[in-house]
Amino acid sequence: MTTSKFLMCAVALTTMLGLQACNATTGGGNQINFGNDTSQWAFDGECDDPRFAGPGTADALLQEDAYRDASDCRNQFYAGSVWLASGTNTNNNYGSSINFGDDQSQWAYDGECDDPRFMARA
């Protein structure tokens, strides 16, 4: 099956299933509600949701695309190419913050993140 046929089938299946919301669980157990794939830019490989930032986002992000590019944003999120943008988290299912810990490690304040829950982008 070619990629374009696969994408068309995926769009059709998503539509038939009633555009169910796509969710992901973070390491802390919180849910990110990615929304659905009703944006005109859905399935283009870039995250068009303005709640996200990073190299996997589109150049122009419009508020009307919030919660409407679930598959692309979820894929980019799992690849580490996007993250929830600081100060713009309007996702009530995610929570207001990430628990970054208490700085009690012997390596606290050394300018490097030593928490194994976080990974650096290559």
* Per-residue confidence (pLDDT) for residue 59, from 0 to 100: 94
Q: Which residues contact 40 (CB under 8 A, 6 or more apart)?
A: none
* pLDDT score, position 70: 97
What is the band of 103 on the pLDDT scale with cuts at 50, 70, 90? confident
Per-chain mean pLDDT for the chain: 73
- Has residue 111 got a pLDDT over 90? no
Q: Based on the number of CB atoms within 10 Å of its own CB, is 50 exposed (0-12), middle (13-18) or buried (19 or more)?
A: buried
Sign of the Cα torsion 62, 68, 69, 70 reads positive
Query: Which of the two residues, 18 and 88, has the higher pLDDT score?
Result: 88
User: In this structure, what token pair is assigned to residue 77?
Assistant: 């999120």
pLDDT at 119: 66
Phi, psi of 63 (to 5 degrees): -55, -30
Q: How far is CA 76 from CA 8, 34, 59, 102, 117, in A?
A: 20, 11, 14, 29, 18
Pairing of strands 31-35, 83-84: unpaired
- Three-class DSSP category at 84: strand
Domain boundaries, the chain: 20-95+114-122
pLDDT > 70 in the chain, percent: 59
**Encoded amino acid at 37, one letter:** D
The model's pLDDT over 17-76, given as tens digits with 9 standing for 90+, comes to 333 344 454 444 457 899 999 999 999 999 999 999 999 999 999 999 999 999 999 999
